[in-house]
Amino acid sequence: MTDLPLAGFLALSAVLLGVGLFGILTRRNFILLLIAIEVAMNSAILNFVVFGSYWGTVPTHGLEGQSVAVVLVGLAATEVAVGLAIVLALNRLRGSINVAEATVLKL
Amino acid sequence: MSGPLNALFAWAFLVPLGPTLAFVVVGLFGRRMQRLEWGGWVAVGAAFVAMVLGVLIAIGEMLSPGTYTDRNIAWFTLPGNGTGTFPHGFSLVMGTLVDPLSAIMLIVVTVVGFLVMLYSISYMRRDAGLPRYYAELSLFLASMLGLVLADNLLQFFLFWELVGVCSYFLIGFYYQRPAAASAAKEAFLVTRVGDVLFLGGIFIYFQQFATAGPAPGWAASGFLFVHHGIPFLALLHPSNPTLFTVAGLLILGGAAGKSAQFPLDVWLPDAMEGPTTVSALIHAATMVAAGVYLLAITSVFIGFSSTDLLVIVAIGGFTAFWAASMAMVNRDIKRVIAYSTVSQLGYMVLAIGAGFTMVGLYHLFTHAFFKALLFLAAGAVIHAVETQDLFKMGGLRKTMKITSIGFLIGGLSLAGIPPLAGFFSKDDVLSSVYTAAQTHPLYWPFYVLALLTVFMTAYYIFRVWFLTFSGEHPRDPTLPHAHDAPWTMTVPIVVLSALAVLAGALVFVPQFGGLFAAGVGFPATPGVPPTYTTTDILLSSLSVGLGVGGILTAYVLWGNGRVFALPESSGAQPIRRLLLERYYVKVGVDWFGRRVVYTVARFFDFVDEYVIDGTIHGFERLFSDLSIRLRRIQSGIVLDYAAYVIVGLAVFLVFLYLIVPAIPALGGG
C-alpha cells in the first residue's frame, strides 16, 4: 500500500465524509439518515487504517490503526442496532419515520 | 462597708431576666392563655419578682452607701498592637452595675412597672391583641431594667434603642387608628434624631478615649462607668476640650430626644395615642426619664464642660416653661398631663445643668410616682366615661371617689404643695438653680422661667381636676354612667397616692437620703436632702405661694362646674390660638417635611427609578429581546441540531487553522 500516495486516501476519506454529511443534512427518512451516518463514520475508519499503515512502526506494520478500525466497525454496528430500535419505536408511535416530524422533545 | 444584702448585687442580672422570660412566654404562648387574661398575669408575676429583687438590691445599696458593684463579662476583646486608632485595642462588655444611681432608678422602674402591669389587667381587658400588649410591655420593662443596670456606655446605648423600639410598638398598639400609627412613627423618628446625635457623641468618646481615661484607655476597658471599683470621672483627663464639649452637646441631643426636651418635644404629646397604661409607664415614669438618667450618668461619670452645662440649663428651663404654656389650653385630659411631663422633665434637666445632678434624680424619683398616679387616675376616668375631652366631663367626684382623691393628691404633689412629694423635689430644683445662679449670672432667666412654670403647673393641673371632677354632672349628658374601677385599677392608684405623698419626705430618712448624697470617687453632689436656711424658706414660700395662686386661679375660672370662655374680642385670643396650635411647631415640621424633605426625596426617587433602575431594566430588556430571537433556533428537529454541530465544527476549525496562526499574540504569526 505504501506505493499509493497518502493524498489519494485522504481525498477518498473527505469525499466519504462529504457524502455522509450531505446525507445527514438532507435526508428526512430515518433509515437513510442512519446510512448517511454510517458513510461519514467510515471516512473516519478509513483514516485510521491509512494513517496506521503509513506511520505504523515496523514490528506491527500498522496493526494499531487496523485494530481501532475493527473496534469502530463494532461500534457502528451497535449504533445501527440502537438506531433501528429507535426507528421501530418511532414508527410505532407516530406511524412515520420522518425525522422532521419527530419534535416531541421540544417543549 | 458591706451590708447583708450585698450578696444580691452580683445577681442583679436576674432583675431584667423575669420580664424577659415573660416576654418570651407571653409572646410565644399568649394566644393560649385566655384564662390568664391572655398572659397578663404572667407579666404581672414577672414584674412582681423583678420588683421584689429590685427593691431588695436598692435597700442593700442604701445599707452600704456609695458602693459600686460591677459584675461583667467581656463579650469580645480586640487586642491592640500599640499603633493605629486603637493602640490598646477595644472590648465590648456586658454586665451590671449596682450604684446609688441605678438603685434609685431600680425602685422607680420596678415599682411603677409592677403597678402599671397590675392596672393593665382591668384597663386593657376589653381590647384585642392582649398577648402582644403584655409581651411588648414585658420586653419594655426588661430593656428598661437593662438600661438602668448597664455598666458601660455601649450596653446603655443598646438598651436605649430597645426601649425606644418598645415605645414605638406600644404607641402604635391601636395600629388600626391612623392617628396612633402616625404618632408611633413620629415618636420613633424624632427620638431617632436624638439617638443619632447620641451615637455621634459615643463616636467622639471612642476617638477621644482610645488611649485616654483609665489605663489602658477607656475604649480598651469597654467604656465601663466604674473601673476597678473607681468611678470613671476620677480618672478623666479630656485631651481636647473643644471636642469634649461637642460630645457633651451630642449626648444632650440624645437625652433631649428621649426626654422630649425642646426642640425634640413634639412627639410626646402625640404619643398619648397609645393606651393610658403605656403613657403612665413609658411616657411619664420610666423611658422619658432615661434621657435625664443619661445626663445624670454622664455628669457623674464623665462630666460636662461649662458650655454644655449652660446649654443644658437653657434647654431645661425653657422646656419647662414652653410645655407648661401649651398644657394650659389643651382640652384633652391625657395631653395636658403629657405636656406636664415634658415640663417636669425640663425641671430635672435644669437641675442637672445647674450642677445638682442628684437633685434632678430626686425630682425624677418623686415625679415618676405622682405622674404615674395622674395618668392612672386619668386612665380610670377615660375607662369610665370613654372620652378624653375635658369639656364633656364634670361632676365625676361623686361617682369616682377613689379616682378623684388620687388625682387630687397627684395634682397637689405636681403643684408643689407641702408636704407632698412634689413640693420637696421641685423646691429643691428651684433652690439649686438659685444657688447656681449666684455664680453663673446667665442662669437667672431660666430660674425666672422655672418660677413662672410653678404657677402655670398648678393652674393647668387644677383646671383638669375641676373640669373633670367638680360640678354637678357631666357637661355631655350622653356620657356613660361612671363608677369607680375594679380592684386591680384602684390598688395601684392607692399605692401610688401613698408614694406621691411620702416619696419626697423619704430623703430625710438617712439611709434613703444616702443614695443621693453618696459620692465616693467623685465630688459629692450637694442638694439632697434639701436644707432649709432662711433664704430657702423664703424661696419655698414664694414657690408655694405661686402654686396656691395657680390653684386659686383655676378655681375661679373653672371651679364648681364653671367653664371659662375667653371673650372673642380679648387681646389674649392670639396667644390662646398660638398655644392651641402648639406654637405652630408641628405645622412647621409638617411644612418642612412636605416641602423640603419630600422634594429631596422625590429627586432621589427619580434617580432611583430612571437612572439606577433604568440601567438595570435596559439590560434586562436587551437580553430578553435577544433571547426571544435566539430561542427560534431550538426547533426540536434533529436535522437542525446536526447542522448546528457541523457549522460549529467548521467555525472551530476555521478559527483553529486560519485565525489563530495569523495572530501573534495567540502564538501564531
Cβ pair B636:A105 closer than 8 A: yes
Cβ pair B642:A28 closer than 8 A: no
CA distance B667 to chain A (A): 28
Hunting for cell 449652660 — which residue is that? B310
Number of A/B CB contacts below 8 angstroms equals: 25
Cβ pair B636:A104 closer than 8 A: yes
Distances (CA, A) of B599 to B190, B591, B606, B612: 20, 11, 11, 19
Band of the pLDDT at B534, cuts 50, 70, 90? confident
Q: Is residue A57 part of a domain?
A: yes
Residues B138-181 pLDDT 10s = 999 999 999 999 988 999 999 999 999 999 999 999 989 999 99
Q: Is residue A51 part of a domain?
A: yes
The Cα–Cα gap between B98 and B518 comes to 13
Q: Phi-psi bin for B203: left (phi > 0), alpha (psi -120 to 50), beta?
A: alpha
The number of angstroms, rounded, from the C-alpha of B46 to the middle of its chain's C-alpha atoms is: 22
Among B636, B643, B646, beta carbon nearest to A106: B636
Q: What is the CATH number of the domain that holds A35?
A: 1.10.287.3510
pLDDT in tens, chain A (107 residues): 456 788 888 999 999 999 999 998 888 899 999 999 999 999 999 999 888 888 766 666 678 888 889 999 999 999 999 999 999 998 998 888 888 887 776 65
Q: Is residue A106 part of a domain?
A: no
Among B639, B643, B646, beta carbon nearest to A99: B639
What is the CA angle B650-B652-B653, rounded to 5?
A: 65
Check if the beta carbon of residue B150 is closer than 8 Å to that of residue B156.
yes
Q: Which residues contact B100 (CB under 8 A, 6 or more apart)?
A: B61, B65, B66, B514, B515, B516, B518
What is the CA angle B137-B139-B141, rounded to 5?
A: 70
The Cα–Cα gap between B312 and B292 comes to 11
Q: What value does the mean pLDDT take over residues B230-258?
A: 80
Residue B669, all three cell numbers: 504569526
Buried b (16+ CB within 10 A) or exposed e, B627-640: eeeeeeeeeebbbe
**With a cut of 0.90, is the ipTM above it?**
no
pTM: 0.78
Among B634, B643, B646, beta carbon nearest to A106: B634
Q: Is residue A83 part of a domain?
A: yes
Q: Where is B652: in which H helix or E strand?
A: helix B638-654
Residue B186, all three cell numbers: 413620629
The number of angstroms, rounded, from the C-alpha of A32 to the middle of its chain's C-alpha atoms is: 12
CA distance A106 to chain B (A): 5
Q: Is residue A16 part of a domain?
A: yes
CA distance A28 to chain B (A): 8
| Number of domains forming the structure of chain A | 1
Q: Is residue A107 part of a domain?
A: no
Q: Is residue A41 part of a domain?
A: yes
Residues B376-394 pLDDT 10s = 999 999 888 888 888 888 8
Question: Which residues of chain B have a CB within 8 Å of the CB of A99?
Answer: 637-639
Residues B546-581 pLDDT 10s = 999 999 999 998 888 788 887 788 888 888 888 888
What is the CA angle B580-B582-B587, rounded to 5?
A: 115
Can you give the pLDDT at residue B547?
92
Q: Is residue A1 part of a domain?
A: no
Domain residues for the domain of A44 are 6-101
Sign of torsion, CA B338 B342 B347 B348? positive
Question: Which residues of chain B have a CB within 8 Å of the CB of A25?
Answer: 639, 642-643, 646
Residues B194-222 pLDDT 10s = 999 999 999 988 888 877 777 677 777 88
Residues B492-519 pLDDT 10s = 999 999 999 988 888 888 888 878 875 5
Nearest chain B alpha carbon to A37: B642
Which residues of B lie inside 8 Å of A (Cβ-Cβ)? 634-639, 642-643, 646
Residue A28 in contact with partner chain B when CB distance is under 8 A: yes
Nearest chain A alpha carbon to B646: A21
CA distance B658 to chain A (A): 19
Q: Which residues contact B638 (CB under 8 A, 6 or more apart)?
A: A99, A102
Mutate to test the interface with A, among B631, B632, B634, B639 (most CBs of A within 10 A): B639
The Cα–Cα gap between A95 and B319 comes to 95
